[in-house]
Amino acid sequence: MGTELLAPLDLAFWHLESDAHPMHLGALAVFAPASGVTPLHVLELLRTRAAAIPRLRMCVRDVLLPVGGAAWTVDKDFDVHRHVHRVAVADGDFMAGATRLAGELMEQPLGRGLPPWQMYLIGGADDGPFAVLVKLHHALADGMRAVAIGAGIFDEIAATAARPGARGRPAVPPRSWLPDPREVAGMALGRIGEVGRALGVGASVVRAGRLDLRGDTAFTAPSSGTRRLATADLDATALQRIRRAEGGTANDILLAVVAGALRRWMEQRGEALTGTDPRALVPVSRRRPGGAVSGNRLSAYLLDLPVGTADPRERLRTVRGAMDRNKAAGPLKGAGAVAVLADQLHPLAHRFGAPLAANAARMLFDLLVTSVPLPRSALSLGGCPLSALYPMAPLARGQSLAIALSTYGGRVHVGLVADGKALPDLDRLAEAVQAEFDAIGALFTAGRVAAPVS
């Protein structure tokens, strides 16, 4: 595996980070125990399989050209023991202890001189369930790419990779930082089109920016650098039943659930529901099927969550209409496509302009809501079946809440990450997500529209 320049958006994520604002995403995978499988066996299995994933041996190094740029290079002193650790939770409720510990571990920035990732085997009783916390720097992976990288630890994917004749292509094809002369003409034409799109996005960003930062709300409280994690589990079958009855997509329904949950939670806190609804950034992958996996390829939609609307069905319709308009415009238009701008900036702009860009994020959105696709097949680690996987998104500077969702094993697993001081009652918001989903499901189970749920 050779040297590979960081893509512009990867470089932006790399320079956006600070000690109080780590730019890693993560996942908490929970496994059921299997007979005869010990924690030490699982730990060694994790280390062996992680060490066999080429991408996890790469670290970031500055380069002379382009000025201000950086590249992925193989860590010649790579030692998997620096990255895979075992930690224990106190006796009691394992899931509660694991989520608390995962929140504390998510606070800690990744070492910048090493490949930017960590894994933690979180265990309680030796014969009980255990969890694996995976942390990957956002420069290393977006949500879809993180799934592709992390899947290598599972029995089913590891067995396929180890099969003779099934080596396939490397995780990241070596790429020189000098383009092939035959590609220059095509690159120039593509660049002209990209610059034109970027100018349109830039204008949209200016129009969408808000001068009122609403710094007194929970979503935009000053960052403390602390992290809390909470989880919720929703019935995927009920989700599809709602989708068939109401139309739209499953993601539309989940976004409406988030809006209703925020309404419930804000009411419990005594916060006003009138005024501007909180704005969500909804990431969208720009990857092409079968395309290269290197580099973050992201855009996003902006969505005003209808927290001020009391009727849950009306909230769902409002979300569906807004997302239909976003999709009609496409992921390369509008202020939500601000990530497209990163592709047009010189590396020096990312290096020196990152603090300004980080502080500007709260002018566009209040919280992040993202869906992460997972394989549909059953997965296991050392024969221990995967029972749940809660994705975790990073927090932008000056923001306090990120919500990520993934579907596996007939359940929608919701991972909520918050600033620990700004949202000490994150568990109540997780409970509100469950309550709102159940309330919307009841509308369609009963076959009639129930009274509005406030």
- Looking up tokens 């599809």 gives 240
Q: How do beta strands 227-235 and 70-74 pair?
A: unpaired
List of the chain residues with pLDDT < 70: 1-2, 143, 161-218, 220, 286-298, 331-361, 446-454
Beta-bridge partners for 388: 30
DSSP letter string, 27-66:
EEEEE---TT--HHHHHHHHHHHHHT-GGGGEEEEE-SSS
Query: What type of residue is 57?
Result: R
CB 296 within 8 Å of CB 284 = no
Closest CA to 71 of 82, 63, 79: 63
pLDDT for 101 equals: 95
- Looking up tokens 């002209």 gives 192
Closest CA to 177 of 296, 350, 5: 5
pLDDT for 309 equals: 94
Task: Report angle CA 28, 31, 34 to the nearest 5 degrees.
Answer: 160
pTM: 0.84
Gyration radius of the chain's alpha carbons: 22
pLDDT for 211 equals: 46
CB 227 within 8 Å of CB 107 = yes
CB 386 within 8 Å of CB 380 = yes
What would the pLDDT profile of 242-293 be if each residue is shown by its tens digit? Answer: 999 888 899 999 999 999 999 999 999 988 887 778 999 898 875 554 445 4
Distance CA(35)–CA(24), nearest Å, equals 34
Burial class (CB in 10 A: 0-12, 13-18, 19+), 31: buried
pLDDT for 220 equals: 67
